[in-house]
Structure 1
């Protein structure tokens, strides 16, 4: 399981641990990933994703999973999220 947000594509970053004596050693900054179940209002189903807490706040801010995926860029989404986005778009076109 990769350490990557399925909705925003946010992944690990690298940097330095800096001691008091200014010795620098490499380290990784990992995203704060959570396993969550998000509800789609349009499809009436829930989907499980592994998302960062920042992405979760953004989903709430934009008004839910449907609105978030409508604005999301395809290259940032995982394969599972991209599949859900296409299902939502298809349901919107039919309604």
Structure 2
């Protein structure tokens, strides 16, 4: 399993650890990933995803998983999240 957020695509970054003497050694910046279960109001079920803490705040800010996925671009989403997005779009199109 890769260290990548399923909603925003946020991944591991590399950089330098700089000492007081300005000596540089390689290090990794890991995203703060959380295993969460988010509720989809349209699908009437829960979805398990591995998302960053920043993405979790964004989901809450936009008004839930359905609203977040409606605005999200397809190239950032994982295959699981993309499948959920398509499922939500189908259900909304059938309801209209």
Q: TM-score, normalised by structure 2?
A: 0.98
* RMSD, matched Cα: 0.4
Query: Which whole-Å CA distance do the structure 1 matches of 2:66 and 2:86 have between them?
Result: 11
Query: Which whole-Å CA distance do the structure 1 matches of 2:21 and 2:13 have between them?
Result: 24
The corresponding residue for 2:79 is: 79
The corresponding residue for 2:49 is: 49
Unaligned 5+ runs, structure 1: none
Q: TM-score, normalised by structure 1?
A: 0.99
Unaligned 5+ runs, structure 2: none
